Amino acid sequence: MEEINPVLAKEDHLEFYYDYYYPQYFDTLMKMVKECGITTYLTHNAYNPRALSLHHKNCKINPWLNMSVDCYYSLFGQLNMQSATYFCEYGAEYMHSFLKCVPWVAEQECGYWFDAPKVYGPELYIWNIWTFAAGYRGMNMYLFASGKNRKGMGFYGTDHNWQAPIGLHGEKQESFVYIQQSIQDIKKDKEIFRKELKYDIALGVKNDPGLIWKKVAKESDEAFYVLKTAGFTPRLCDFQSASVEELLENKCLWVVSDEMMDGKVQNILAEYAEKGGHLIVSGRIPCKDEKDESCTFLAEALGIKVKYCEEQEEDQQKMVWEEVEYDIGRSVQPMEIKDEYIVARDRNGNPCIGRIPYGNGIVCVMGFTPRLRFRNVADAILRLLKEIEVYPLVQNARYLRVLPKEGGESVVLNLHPVQVKEEIQVLGKNHEVVLEPYSYCILEKEVEEVGTVSGI
């Protein structure tokens, strides 16, 4: 392979392996399998949801290739709403809407990397439920059984207990019954879990081969988490490859950008807004193309001026919107915008959000990527979108996660170790929901109110 394309192999290892080597490798492997008279499918595993971006071109060249992913909340140290959103929801959505393949998990957490801290059965119960409710269609649990390696083997040495549900001698551990119950409940509600999500906004993310190692990759799933917290259900969109007509299928498109964007893509985004779309660009308004040369088509079309400024952590940075202060925690890109278009300024008085009428649509430029350290960040995003008449399907769910389905039902999940009671609005209907720790319920489309539902 290096002999066939020596220049690419030498100059860009990432592009060579992920956009050139792997697609041809899988194509060759499938041909060999068929020549042997074997009927099968091939799959490739990504080690976390952001790593799925590495295989964008592979899935386009080999659409029959089935991607899988790892799903471990312990990589974030503990079970929490952000880890569940990232692994269970963002990962499934990336595979379904972006890669156009059937989402499944090759390594589903059923223990812990170590034997401390303790992993609890109820956590594993709701983790499995969340995984399937969010869109995954299958999973392989890892490591399901404890054991002993030969001397000298094993990443952490001889022992690979990892709090697995099956002990070294075949005995069932505390977590086994919770995992067993989760599978029974998944089967019980599989028809609803398998239904498509009902979306209310499109989230455009980049797909570069080295995306996982760039800041804009983490900023993409952070924007996803903020939108989910605000009550929205985002559909991931490959905005770099989409036509204007395809983008216009979405009333509102949120694009997570860095400073680099191809000039053709910038023009398509401007045309999307001109023809009536509502466009939000967060992170950095592009000022360069992919060749690192000056390219400001979008900024020029909007009548604004922007400067290059790498996004950095800035803990004390705030945003002030009509005397209400919101946490940002990031450096803000310098922007020159007409005063009548400025929505909010940073603590130094510089514009950080602008809302610009453009043709038949609206463009909101946000010189930072929202990050949820405080709930008011999601409140600010909800406020911004409501002002351009973009409303979430879920409202007032501050502690529960609601997954609205196309059939009219919704899955409501409680990830907390305490009972949660909330009055929420889903698909225009009000519900009072009471959920026990680590449990879920189904809101049927005909039902107005739901009482207490326990998981296990």
- What pLDDT score was predicted for residue 451? 47
What are 4's two structure tokens? 């066939």
Residues 340-356: what's their mean pLDDT? Answer: 96
Residues 31-50: what's their mean pLDDT? Answer: 94
Residues 149-159: what's their mean pLDDT? Answer: 82
> 382 φ, ψ to 5°?
-60, -40
Confidence of residue 454 (pLDDT cuts 50, 70, 90): very low
Q: How far from 392 is each of 7, 232, 269, 425, CA to CA, in Å?
A: 48, 5, 23, 10
Query: Hunting for tokens 């609205």 — which residue is that?
Result: 404
Confidence of residue 450 (pLDDT cuts 50, 70, 90): very low
Q: What is the pTM of this model?
A: 0.93
Q: Looking at domain 41-193, does it have CATH number 3.60.20.10? A: no
Q: How far from 244 is each of 239, 260, 266, 270, 432, CA to CA, in Å?
A: 9, 20, 11, 9, 41
Residue 137 CA to residue 90 CA, distance in Å, equals 14
Q: Amino acid identity of 246? A: E
Residue 1 CA to residue 191 CA, distance in Å, equals 45
Mind listing the pLDDT tens digit for each residue in 285-316?
Answer: 999 998 889 999 999 999 999 998 888 888 88
Beta pairing class for 410-414 and 439-443: antiparallel
Mean pLDDT estimate for the chain:
92
- pLDDT over 90 (residue 196): yes
Say if residues 110 and 164 touch (Cβ distance below 8 Å). Answer: yes
Residues 120-129: what's their mean pLDDT? Answer: 96
- Per-residue H/E/C for 280-291: EEEECCCCECCC
- pLDDT over 80 (residue 8): no
How is domain 201-387 classified at the CATH fold level? Rossmann fold (3.40.50)
Kindly tell me the sign of the dihedral angle through the C-alpha atoms of 322, 325, 326, 328.
positive
From 139-148, 179-188, 446-455, the region with the lowest mean pLDDT: 446-455
- What pLDDT score was predicted for residue 211? 65
Please state, for a pLDDT cut of 70, what percent of the chain lies above it: 96
Instruction: Considering the chain, tell me which residue range(s) the CATH 2.60.40 domain(s) occupy.
Output: 394-453
- pLDDT over 90 (residue 279): yes
- State the number of CA atoms in the 13 A half-sphere of 333 facing the CB: 30
- What pLDDT score was predicted for residue 209? 61
Q: Could you say which architecture CATH assigns to the domain 394-453?
A: Sandwich (2.60)
Query: Whats the size of the chain, residue-wise?
Result: 456
CA angle 449/455/456 to nearest 5° reads: 145
Using alpha carbons, select from 24, 153, 128, 4 the residue that is nearest to residue 72: 128
Instruction: Considering the chain, tell me which residue range(s) the CATH 3.20.20.80 domain(s) occupy.
Output: 41-193
Instruction: Considering the chain, tell me which residue range(s) the CATH 3.40.50.880 domain(s) occupy.
Output: 201-387
Residues 105-111: what's their mean pLDDT? Answer: 94
Confidence of residue 326 (pLDDT cuts 50, 70, 90): very high
